[in-house]
Amino acid sequence: MSDNVRVGAIPSLPLALAPLLLTVALLMTQFFVFGDFTPHIPLACGILICAFFARLRGIAWTRMEASMLKVIKLGLPAILILLAVGMLIGTWILAGTVPTLIYYGINLVSPGWFLVATCLISSLISLAVGTSWGTVGTVGLALMGIGHGLGIPVYLTAGALVSGAFFGDKMSPLSDTTNLTPAVCETDLWTHIKSMMATTVPAMTLALLAYAWLGSGYADQLIDVGGIDALRRTLAEHFTLSWITLIPPVVVISLSMARFPPFPTIFGGAALGGVIAILLQGSDVQAVFDVMQNGYVADTGSAAMDTLLSKGGAMSMTWVVTLTLFALGFTGMLEAYGTIDAIMLHLAKLMRGASAWC
């Protein structure tokens, strides 16, 4: 079948949606029938399904591959940032940055306002750094530890943390996805951020009100002083806690506010954490490299603390990175087949029809 046969034509909407719907069916089967919430293989199968439909339309594989690579290229900066975030999380734990934040943060926040403070702190850090993953994996770990010490349920702390981190990430001019979207849509960054404010700011306001109401129920919470002392004692025994450990986040936030590119900023923060781990915590270069690759593995004798601090490493991001690659490849195949053009054409017709009635 020739590559120029019907290539320029947009498929009908049912045919355009067929590979997309079949892939969604595979995802639902994976999630709800097999009970496996890893979408990688269904997305890979979706690429094959798109290729089959595209070939029926006379589209050669070289054209499909070019479309996939074009879309994947747009996502490469985000992938690099994710890998740097994994390394940053590992070295900041090894350097004592996260343990220091937990140690001193427990006494700074009252139970009644902890959820609101968590949401605001995570949103400001994410806004400055430009990554929700970096916020959740570093400051977020500290906030989870503080919430545990204050007796706040883990699910409420996690909800407030993620809400703030995602808000800051969406609004940050340094965010990978915030830069990726206007690049794909061929608009400028600040117009995109301004357009998102109409929905994200009211949502954030409602979230803060909700966390203020939920947090008021813990205002009279009896703090487990013994548990907090045990937590602080465990941290002090296994890490050298000092203001020096806070240098990496200060540097990263400062560079971010100065609008340095996200990847070198985050990777530089990871490297600085490694240097402090060597100078202050007594680690060696091999240990730093291992943590940057495989993450930090805590062995404090406290199961809760070990679970909290065993995080990070570039390898911890492989699940997300591979998912991103499959998703971007699938999007490129849909674009090559004509699904996206068909949907946009149909929506344009609906909008013109609706405007005719106004």
pLDDT range class, residue 5, cuts 50, 70, 90: very low
Q: How crowded is residue 182: how many other Cβ atoms within 10 Å of its Cβ?
A: 16
Question: Does residue 109 contact residue 146 with C-beta atoms inside 8 Å?
Answer: yes
- Count of residues making up the chain: 358
Q: Given a cut of 60, is residue 4 above it in pLDDT?
A: no
**Which amino acid type is present at position 335?**
E
Q: What is the mean pLDDT of residues 341-353?
A: 83
Q: Is a pLDDT exceeding 70 seen at residue 118? A: yes
- Pick the closest to residue 179 from 78, 73, 83, 330 (CA basis): 78
Which pLDDT score is estimated for 176? 67
Q: Are 157 and 147 in contact (CB under 8 A)?
A: yes
- Could you report the per-residue pLDDT of 11-34, keeping only the tens digit for each? 888 999 999 999 999 999 999 999
Are 112 and 257 a contacting pair, CB within 8 Å?
A: no
- Between helix 61-94 and helix 97-105 the angle, nearest 10°, is 60
Residues 6 or more apart whose Cβ sits within 8 Å of residue 34: none
Residue 358 has pLDDT above 80, yes or no: no
Q: How many domains are contained in the chain?
A: 1
Q: What is the DSSP string of 20-32?
A: HHHHHHHHHIIII
Q: Tell me the percentage of the chain whose pLDDT exceeds 90.
A: 40
Span of 75-79, 82-86, 139-143, 351-355 with lowest mean pLDDT: 351-355
What is the rounded average pLDDT of the residues 302-322?
85
Number of C-beta neighbours around residue 56 at 10 A = 13
209 within domain boundaries: yes
- The pLDDT, as a whole number, for residue 45 is 96
- pLDDT of 273 strictly over 70: yes
300 falls within a domain: no
Q: Is residue 147 part of a domain?
A: yes
Query: In this structure, are residues 142 and 107 in contact, taking their beta carbons and an 8 Å threshold?
Result: no
User: Between 112 and 283, whose confidence is greater?
Assistant: 283
Tens digit of pLDDT for each residue in 313-332? 999 889 989 998 999 999 99
pLDDT at 59 over 50: yes
**pLDDT bucket at 152, cuts 50 / 70 / 90:** confident
Given this model, what pLDDT does residue 354 score? 61
Output the CA angle 236-239-244, nearest 5 degrees: 105
Report pLDDT digits (tens) over 195-236: 888 888 999 999 999 999 998 888 776 565 566 677 788 888
Residue 287 token pair: 């240990």
For every residue of 226-243, DSSP letters joined together read: HHHHHHHHHHHHHS---G
For every residue of 333-347, DSSP letters joined together read HHHHHTHHHHHHHHH
Structure tokens at 107: 């006494």
Q: Is residue 56 part of a domain?
A: no
Q: How far is it, in rounded angstroms, from Cα 34 to Cα 348?
A: 38
What string of DSSP letters covers 291-346? HHHH-----SS-HHHHHHH----GGGGHHHHHHHHHHHHHHHHHHHHTHHHHHHHH
**pLDDT of the residue at 101:** 82
267: in domain:
no
DSSP string, 85-148: HHHHHHHHHHTTHHHHHHHHHTTTS-GGGHHHHHHHHHHHHHHHH--HHHHHHTHHHHHHHHHH
Q: What is the predicted pLDDT for the residue at 131?
A: 73
Gap between the Cα atoms of 221 and 223, Å rounded? 6
Distance of CA 295 to the CA centre of its chain: 17
Domain assignment present for 213: yes
Say which residue, 109 or 311, is predicted with more confidence.
311
Q: What is the DSSP string of 172-204?
A: -TT-HHHHHHHHHHT--HHHHHHHHHHHHHHHH
In a domain, 116, yes or no: yes
CB 267 within 8 A of CB 84: yes
Residue 212 covered by a domain: yes
The answer, as to whether pTM is greater than 0.85, is no
Encode burial over 322-353: b for 16+ CB neighbours within 10 A, e otherwise.
eebbbbbbbbbbbbbbbbbebbeeeeeeeeee
Q: What is the rounded CA–CA span in Å between residue 99 and residue 245? A: 9
Residue with tokens 């990554």: 131
How many Å apart are CA 55 and CA 57, to the nearest integer? 5
**Confidence grade of residue 89 (pLDDT, cut at 50, 70, 90):** confident
Q: Which domain holds residue 201?
A: 106-223
Alpha carbon distance 231, 225 (integer Å): 10
Question: pLDDT tens for residues 184-197?
Answer: 666 766 787 888 88
% of the chain residues with pLDDT over 70: 89
